[in-house]
Chains A and B, each alone.
Chain A
Amino acid sequence: MKRVYLGEFEELVLITVASLQDEAYGVSIMNEITSQTGRNANISAIHEALRRLDAKGFVKSKMGGATAQRGGRRKRLFVLTASGRKIVDQTIELRVQLYNRVPGYSLKLS
Chain B
Amino acid sequence: MYPRPPRWAVRFLHWYCNAELLEEIEGDISELFYQRLESGNPKKAKFKYIADVFRFFKWSNIKRTEHGFVPGSAGALWSMNFKMALRNANKNKLIFVLKTSSLAICLAFALLLTAYLVNELTFDKFNVNHERLYRVTSKVNFQDHVTHYAVTPLPIGQTLVEGIPEIENYFRFMYEDKPILRVDDRMFYDEVTLAADSNFFKLLTFDFIQGDAHAFGEPNKIIITKSLAKKLFGTVDALGQTIAFGKDNLLEVSGIIENVPSNSHLPFDAAISWATFDRDDSWGNLNAYTYVLLRPGVDLKNIKSKMPAVLATFHDLVAREYKATFEPIFENITDIHFSGTLDEDIAQKRSMNNLFILASVAFLFLITGLINYLNLTLAELTANLKRIGILRVFGGLTSGHKNAMLIETGLALSIVLPMVSILCYEGLTLANTHLSIHIDTAILLSPLFILSAVLFLILLFISTRANSYILSKTHHIINALKGTFSSSGNGLSTRKLLVATQLSFSIVMIALIIVIVDQFRFIQDSDKGFDDKNMIVIKLRSDRSQTMHTETFVETIRKINGISKVGGSTYFPGAIETKYVFEVETENGMEQRLVPMMICSNEYLDALGIKIEKGHKFDTGGSFDFNSFIVNEAAAKEFGWKDAIGRKIGGPVTGRGEAYMEGEVIGLVRDFNFASLHNAIEPMLILPATENWGYNFIYVKTNPLRPQDLIGAIEKEFKAQWPEHPFEWEYLDSKYLSLYKNDYEVKSIFQIGLVISILASCLGIFSISALLVTLRTKEMGIRKVVGAGSLHLFLLHANSFLKSLFISILVAWPVIWFLSKEWLKTFAYHVDLNYSYFILPGIVALLITVLTSAYHGIKNTMINPVDILKHE
Which residues of A line the B interface, CB within 8 A?
A: 25-27, 30, 42-44, 47-48, 51, 63, 66-67, 69-71, 73-76
Contacts and interface: CB of A to CB of B under 8 A. Distances in A.
Contact of A26 (B28, B34, B35): B28
A63 B34 contact: no
Among A47, A48, A74, A75, the one with the most B-chain Cβ atoms within 10 Å of its Cβ is A47
Contacts of A70: 27-28, 30-31
Chain B interface mostly: helix
B58 interface: yes
B55 A44 contact: yes
Given A42-B55, A44-B58, A27 B31 contact: yes
A1 B58 CA distance: 34
B26 interface: yes
17 contacts: A25-B28, A30-B32, A43-B56, A44-B52, A44-B56, A44-B58, A48-B60, A51-B60, A69-B34, A70-B27, A71-B26, A71-B30, A73-B23, A73-B26, A73-B27, A74-B23, A75-B28
A30 B48 CA distance: 15
Contacts of A51: 60
B500 to A, nearest CB: 59
Nearest to B53: A44
Contacts of B25: 47
Among B24, B30, B56, B58, the one with the most A-chain Cβ atoms within 10 Å of its Cβ is B24
Interface of B: 23-32, 34-35, 52, 55-56, 58, 60
B23 A63 contact: yes
A64 to B, nearest CB: 11
Contacts of B30: 69-71, 73
Nearest to B21: A47
Given A27-B32, A43-B52, A74-B27, 5 more contacts: A25-B28, A30-B32, A44-B56, A51-B60, A73-B26
A69 B28 CA distance: 9
B583 to A, nearest CB: 95
Contacts of A25: 24, 28
A44 B61 CA distance: 10
Contact of B31 (A42, A69, A76): A69
B28 A27 contact: yes
A29 to B, nearest CB: 10
A25 B31 CA distance: 12
Contacts of A63: 23-24
Nearest to A46: B28
B210 to A, nearest CB: 50
Among A26, A43, A74, A76, the one with the most B-chain Cβ atoms within 10 Å of its Cβ is A43
Contacts of B28: 25-27, 43, 47, 70, 75
8 shortest interchain CB distances as A-B pairs: A73-B27, A44-B55, A26-B28, A70-B27, A76-B24, A44-B56, A69-B34, A70-B31
A106 B435 CA distance: 82
A67 B30 CA distance: 11
Contacts of B35: 27, 69
A43 B32 contact: yes
Contacts of A69: 30-31, 34-35
A39 to B, nearest CB: 16
A78 to B, nearest CB: 10
A60 B738 CA distance: 85
Contacts of A30: 32
A66 B30 CA distance: 12
Among B26, B29, B31, B52, the one with the most A-chain Cβ atoms within 10 Å of its Cβ is B31
A42 B27 CA distance: 15
B29 A43 contact: yes
Nearest to A72: B27
Nearest to A67: B31
Nearest to A48: B60
A26 B56 CA distance: 13
A43 B55 contact: yes
A75 B24 contact: yes
A44 B27 CA distance: 12
Contacts of A44: 52, 55-56, 58
Contacts of A71: 26-27, 30
B100 to A, nearest CB: 40
Contacts of B23: 63, 73-74, 76
A42 to B, nearest CB: 6
A70 B34 CA distance: 9
A73 B55 CA distance: 20
Nearest to A61: B24
Nearest to B28: A26
A37 to B, nearest CB: 18
Nearest to B27: A73
A25 B56 CA distance: 16
A76 B21 CA distance: 10
A26 B26 CA distance: 11
Contact of B56 (A47, A66, A76): A47
Contacts of A43: 28-29, 32, 52, 55-56
Contacts of B32: 27, 30, 43
A48 to B, nearest CB: 7
B82 to A, nearest CB: 28
A37 B55 CA distance: 22
Nearest to B30: A71
A86 B24 CA distance: 27
Contact of B24 (A26, A42, A48, A67): A26
A71 B55 CA distance: 20
A63 B24 CA distance: 8
Contacts of A67: 31
Nearest to A31: B35
Contacts of A76: 23-24
A66 B35 CA distance: 16
Nearest to A26: B28
A86 to B, nearest CB: 26
A8 B665 CA distance: 106
A62 B253 CA distance: 82
B668 to A, nearest CB: 97
B691 to A, nearest CB: 95
A109 to B, nearest CB: 54
Contacts of A73: 23-24, 26-27, 30
Given A43-B52, A67-B31, A74 B26 contact: no
A82 B28 CA distance: 27
A40 to B, nearest CB: 12
Nearest to B37: A69
Given A43-B55, A47-B56, A74 B31 contact: no
Contacts of B29: 43
A91 to B, nearest CB: 25
Nearest to B56: A44
A48 B56 CA distance: 9
Nearest to A47: B25
B182 to A, nearest CB: 70
Nearest to A74: B23
A67 B35 CA distance: 13
A48 B61 CA distance: 10
B55 A74 contact: no
B34 A74 contact: no
A10 to B, nearest CB: 15
Contacts of A47: 24-25, 28, 56
Nearest to B52: A43
Contacts of B56: 43-44, 47
A27 B60 CA distance: 19
B24 to A, nearest CB: 4
A75 B60 contact: no
Contacts of B31: 27, 67, 69-70
Nearest to B51: A42
Contacts of B34: 69
A47 B26 CA distance: 12
A43 B24 CA distance: 11
A73 B17 CA distance: 15
A25 B25 CA distance: 11
A15 to B, nearest CB: 20
A72 B304 CA distance: 82
